Amino acid sequence: MSPEFGFKINKSAQIDLDKADDSLYRKICSIEPSLKLCIFCGSCAATCSAGQFTSFSFRKISIDLRRGMIKDVKEDISKCMLCGKCILVCPRNVNTRHVLFHLKKHFDENEL
Amino acid sequence: MNFDPFVLPFFLGLLFMGAILIWKYIVWMETIPVSDRRIMLRNIFTVRSFRAFKEAVMEGLLHRRIFKINRMLGYMHASLATGWFLLIVIGTIESKYGHKDVFNMPWDPIFFNYFEPNKHGIEYGKFFVFTMDFLLMILLISVFLAVVKRFYSRLFGMKKTTKLMLPDRFALYSLWLIFPARLLAESLNAAHYGNGGFMTQPIGNLISSFLSLNEIIDLEYSMWWFYSIVLGAFFVSLPFSRYMHILTEIFLITFRNLGVEPAKNLKGYTRFEINSCSRCGICIDKCQLSSAAGINNVQPAYYIQSIRYNLPFDDRAYNCLLCGRCNTYCPVKIDVTNMRSITRKLANETVGFHYDYLPDYVKHDKTEVTNVLYFAGCMSHLTPSIPKAMEIIFDNAGITYDFIDRDGSICCGRPLMQSGLTNAAAELKNKLTKLIESKDSMILVTSCPICYKTFVDDYKLKMHVVHHTELIKILIENKRLNISGQNISITYHDPCELGRGCGEYENARLVLSKIGKLIPIEQEKEKALCCGGSMSNLKVQGAKRELIAADAVNQLNANNPDLIVTACPLCKKTMAKHADGKMMDIAEVVADALTSKDKENNYYIESLNFHNK
């Protein structure tokens, strides 16, 4: 009776940047323009407090956001502790905490 | 009964103001919690009432705290408040005495000279005439100063003065006109009857030299009208303008002295605080966002204004380092930091982070018993030399310790709390409490003042919590650590959370004075500067933070000390890049100054001594 039995085709993991939904990215950029400066260097990921326990990091959020992977962002975002280590190590002075705070606020106020 | 239609603007204005004030105060008092009211009732017949009275005189009239901050400004406020108060008191006595009637009308003291120009039968009439003239002169001088201050605030040592709203302007301009109007009315009166005091008489004589008696009488009558109208205008606008502080401050002082604590919402006591703000603008200059980073529209004066008039906040609630310098300088002692936390909380109640992924910490039977638990804190992991120095100190003092976050920290939750995310912070607090209580020890040492403040205030831990400055002080006093003095000069930077937050100023100073020569600076202890790195500010941009840090280092460097020492990893991290290698944490300094230890750890002070030789 298991419907799982048999073969199936994985959903494509390809991301088409031309079709990516960057509405949230643009919304957050209008609140915190310094997000545009992110170069995905990973300094924040290296120091992240939540990153010790999960795959969460600001870098991941930033990449997912730009690629329009909003569901992934939504899943990850609640893990942040807002401790602020990422902001201190960021070589590009991205105001990471403000970005994370508004992302969380966005998801809590508008259900996807 | 003396009456003339011109008393009506004044009298109706006074009635209107009285009605609005009574209504407002009753509504606000209603929202003070019953427990606080009980406390007040219990304390009302104690010495606290005298203290309240004394403070009301010292602050409400003499403005002592403003004097301490800025003498010119203090003189202006003190002369205006005390002068006007005495003018009212002495005017009332004069009129009651003059009429031989204790229950005369409220307008009698104000327009006394119109109704009783010759003061027949008043003993000491000369005394009253002189005193009223003298007080009027004092008031005119302070109004003159106020006008000058509005246009050239720099003359008063203020870089910025508060921008005003419409009701404020209305009240301000009527206030400026009140005393010149009184002077003219009194002088014309003096010209009319050929009397007057040392100021009104010469002016009256001057007027009568080019006006005929009839003209003088007409002009005098219209001047009394004008005087009454500006007084009325001021009274009508008072409850809606910043001058609301005049009376509200007295309530606030009374409540505070009777033992009411700052509230946890924007009602009751906080409402009185909000309305006690006179927007004097002292906080604008003292705020480092303004003085170092050029952000001039978020300071307490404007922030409280937004709450009071229900204006959109924009970033006034968030763009704040919560360093607490404004609380130190506020002449009314309004707890703005508390108020900001409340607003943030109210705005973000629905925003919740979740930490289910954190492991469950359970206490094992075989948990090792240690002297202390050491919790470095998030920020200390960015300055690894601080935990390292602490380990040297523990080893040297022969203390067994359990470094509970050696492999990285869980946040203590204070940054969340200060962003208003109370629920998320509580979740972290539960996790961290479990982690701490799964260990076996009596003392928790932390290197981070932010964690320390939270552990002390919000965590109900069953152990003694100390910041490492306190631990080091105790160890040195008990001769567990032997340190050798060096020939160096040190300036100590008070971290906000440890100093203003927890009131610990002396521990670090005691330790440092044993190591080198402690050089005091102007802005220290309660007035200490913020490093600019505060996690309480979500909004401020990195570049602005750098400006604040550079400015703070500049001021710490004023006496060119060999070392700038702080006790906070965040301060160190933020300021080190501007400090030319002079910035150290107190733990590192102490670890360097230990007499018996591995020589290789002694990298900094030795090299400094080498240079000095």
Q: Which of B319, B380, B353 has the alpha carbon at shortest distance from A98?
A: B319
Express as a percent the part of chain B with pLDDT over 70: 96
List chain B residues with CB under 8 Å of A53: 357-359
Chain A residues near residue B381 by CB distance under 8 angstroms? 47, 85
Is the pLDDT score of B524 beyond 50? yes
B464 in helix, strand or coil?
A: strand
pLDDT of B609 strictly over 80 = no
Among A34, A48, A56, A85, which would you mutate to test the B interface (most chain B Cβ atoms within 10 Å of its Cβ)? A85
Reported as a pLDDT band with limits 50, 70 and 90, residue B334 is very high
> Residue B195 phi/psi, 5° resolution?
-130, -150
User: What CA dihedral angle connects B511, B514, B515 and B517, to 10 degrees?
Assistant: 110
Within-domain flag for B56: no
For residues B298 and B417, state if they share a domain: no
Whether the per-residue pLDDT at B442 is higher than 60: the answer is yes
Query: What is the structure's pLDDT at B159?
Result: 78
Calculate the alpha carbon distances from B453 to B219, B382, B502, B551 in Å: 66, 19, 6, 26
Q: Per residue in B484-509, pLDDT tens? A: 888 899 999 999 999 999 999 999 99
Please judge whether A83 and B351 are an interchain contact, meaning their C-beta atoms are less than 8 angstroms apart. no
Compute the radius of gyration of chain A from its Cα atoms: 16
Residues of A in contact with B542 (CB under 8 A): 34, 87, 90, 93-95
* Shortest CA distance from B572: residue in chain A: A88
Residue B357, in any domain of the structure: no
The alpha carbon of B180 is separated from its chain's Cα centroid by a whole number of angstroms, namely 33
Question: Between the CA atoms of B43, B45, B46 and B48, what dihedral angle is there, to the nearest 10 degrees?
Answer: 70
Q: How confident is the model at residue B470 (pLDDT cuts 50, 70, 90)?
A: very high
Phi/psi class of residue B482: alpha, beta or left (left: φ > 0; alpha: ψ in -120 to 50)? beta
The answer to whether A78 touches A110, Cβ cutoff 8 Å, is: no
B24 lies in the same domain as B157: yes
**Bridge partners of residue B445, in order along the sequence:** B374, B466
Judge whether B490 lies within some domain: yes
Q: Of B297, B316, B348, at which residue does a domain stop? A: B348
CATH number at B406 reads: 3.40.50
Specify whether B425 is located in the same domain as B516. no
Alpha-carbon Rg for chain B in angstroms: 31
Average pLDDT over residues B194-222: 90
Q: Which residues of A touch B535 (CB under 8 A)?
A: 82-84, 87, 97
> End-to-end distance of chain B based on CA atoms, in angstroms?
90
Return the SS3 of B37: helix
B325: its two tokens = 């310098």
Last residue of a domain, one of B437, B472, B507: B472
Same domain, B178 and B321: no
Which pLDDT value is given to residue B612? 42
Q: B-chain residues within 8 Å CB-CB of A47?
A: 381-382
**H or E segment and range at residue A1:** none
Kindly state the helix (H) or strand (E) to which residue B452 belongs, with its residue range: helix B449-457
User: What gap in Å lies between CA B39 and CA B35, rounded to an integer?
Assistant: 6
Residues B490, B464, single domain; the answer is no
CA A16 to chain centre: 17
The Cα B437–Cα B441 span in angstroms is 9
* Cβ(B491)–Cβ(B500) below 8 Å: no
Find the chain A residues whose C-beta atoms sit closer than 8 A to any C-beta of B: 34, 47, 49-50, 52-54, 77-85, 87-90, 93-95, 97-98, 101, 104-105, 108-109
Q: Would B70 be classed as within a structural domain?
A: yes
- Is B543 an 8 Å CB contact of chain A? yes
Question: Domain residues for B455?
Answer: 372-472
Strand partners, B340: none
**Backbone phi and psi for residue B146, each to the nearest 5 degrees, phi listed first:** -65, -40
Give contacts of B359 with chain A, Cβ < 8 Å.
53
For residues B78 and B188, state if they share a domain: yes
Average pLDDT, integer, range A33-42: 94
Query: Is the pLDDT reported for residue B80 higher than 60?
Result: yes
**Looking at the domain assignment, is residue B566 inside a domain?**
yes
DSSP state of B446: E
What's the whole-number mean pLDDT along residues B330-351? 89
Contacts of A83 in chain B (CB under 8 A): 378, 409, 411, 415, 535
Say if residue B333's pLDDT is above 60: yes
pLDDT at A3 (0 to 100): 60
Instruction: Indicate the residue of B350, B355, B410 with minimum beta-carbon distance to A108.
Output: B350
Contact between B415 and A83 using a beta-carbon 8 Å cutoff: yes
With a cut of 80, say whether residue B107 has pLDDT above it: yes
Q: Which of B359, B408, B419 is opposite residue A101, by nearest beta carbon? A: B419
Which of B497, B531, B541, B545 is most worth mutating to test chain A (most A CB atoms within 10 A of its CB)?
Answer: B541
The pLDDT mean for chain B works out to 89
Instruction: Indicate whether B491 and B580 sit together in one domain.
Output: yes
Q: Which is nearest to B573 in space by CA: B376, B403, B358, B383? A: B383
Band (B531; pLDDT cuts 50, 70, 90): very high
Domain membership of residue B42 (yes or no) is: no
Cβ A61 vs Cβ A77: under 8 Å? yes
Ramachandran sector of residue A69 (left: φ over 0; alpha: ψ -120 to 50; beta: rest): beta
Indicate whether B246 belongs to any domain: no
A85:B355 CB<8 A: no
Share of chain B above pLDDT 90, in %: 65
* Residue A8, token pair as written in the block: 């199936």
Whether B525 and B388 share a structural domain: no
State how far the Cα of B120 lies from the Cα of B388, in Å rounded to an integer: 87
Q: Among A103-112, B187-196, B349-358, where is mean pLDDT lowest?
A: A103-112
Q: Chain A within 8 Å of B360 (Cβ-Cβ)?
A: no
CB contacts, 8 Å: B540 with chain A:
95
Residues belonging to chain B: 613
Could you say which of A53, A83, A88 has the minimum Cβ distance to residue B358?
A: A53
With 0-12 CB in 10 A as exposed, 13-18 as middle and 19+ as buried, what is B130? middle
CB contacts of A88 in chain B (<8 Å) are 379, 382, 533, 570, 573-574
pLDDT average, residue stretch B233-254: 94
| pLDDT beyond 60 at B174 | yes
Domain co-membership, B344 together with B376: no
- Chain B residue closest in CA terms to A31: B539
Residue B611: its pLDDT value, please? 43
Q: Which residues contact B200 (CB under 8 A, 6 or more apart)?
A: B133, B183, B186, B187, B189, B190
Count of domains observed in chain B:
4
Contact B409 A93 (CB under 8 A): no
Q: What is the CATH number of the domain that holds B292?
A: 1.10.1060.10
For the record, the structure tokens of A109 come out as: 């106020």
pLDDT at B613 over 50: no
Strands B443-446 vs B372-375: parallel, antiparallel or unpaired: parallel
Q: Report CB contact under 8 Å: B419, A82.
A: yes
pLDDT of residue B196: 82
DSSP-based three-state secondary structure for B569: helix
Q: B542, A85: Cβ pair inside 8 Å?
A: no
Pull the structure tokens for residue B492.
Answer: 């100590």
What residues in A contact B409, CB-CB < 8 Å? 49, 83
Q: Are residues B21 and B133 in the same domain?
A: yes
The separation between CA B600 and the C-alpha centre of its own chain, rounded to angstroms, equals 47
- pTM of model > 0.90: no
Cβ separation A89–B382 shorter than 8 A = yes
Chain B residues with CB under 8 Å of A54 CB are: 357
- Answer whether residue A110 shows pLDDT above 80: no
pLDDT of B393 over the 50 cut = yes
What single letter denotes the amino acid at residue B99?
Answer: H
Which residue type occupies B66? I
Report whether B422 contacts B453 (CB < 8 A).
Answer: no
Select from B183, B209, B240 the last residue of a domain.
B240
Average pLDDT of chain A?
Answer: 89
**Which pLDDT band, with edges at 50, 70 and 90, does A8 fall under?**
confident
pLDDT digit string, tens, across residues A51-80: 989 999 999 999 999 999 999 999 999 999
Tokens of A67: 């690629």
Q: Answer yes or no: do B217 and B83 share one domain.
A: yes
Taking contacts as CB-CB distances below 8 angstroms, the residues of chain B near A111 are none
Sheet holding B464-467, edge to edge: B401-403, B372-375, B443-446, B464-467
Judged against a pLDDT cut of 60, whether residue B553 lies above it is answered with yes
Bridge pairing between strands B489-492 and B563-566? parallel
Domain annotation covers residue B51: no
B/e letters for B309-335, b = 16+ CB within 10 Å, e = fewer, are: eeeebeebbbbbbbbbbbbbbbbbbbb
Instruction: Report the DSSP beta bridge partners of residue B491.
Output: B564
Q: How far is B607 from chain A (nearest CA, A)?
A: 28
Burial pattern B39-77, b for ≥16 Cβ within 10 A else e, equals: bbeebeeeebeebbeebbeebbbbbebbbebbebbbbbb
Of A77, A82, A93, the CB nearest to B415: A82
Taking one residue from A and the other from B, the number of pairs with CB-CB distance under 8 angstroms is 90
Q: Is the CB of residue B203 less than 8 Å away from at least one CB of chain A?
A: no
CB distance B378–A93 less than 8 Å? no
B81 and B226 inside one domain: yes
Report the DSSP beta bridge partners of residue B440. Answer: B369
CA angle B89, B91, B94 (to 5 degrees): 110
Predicted local distance difference test score (pLDDT) of residue B197:
84
Report yes or no: B573 at the A interface, CB cutoff 8 Å.
yes
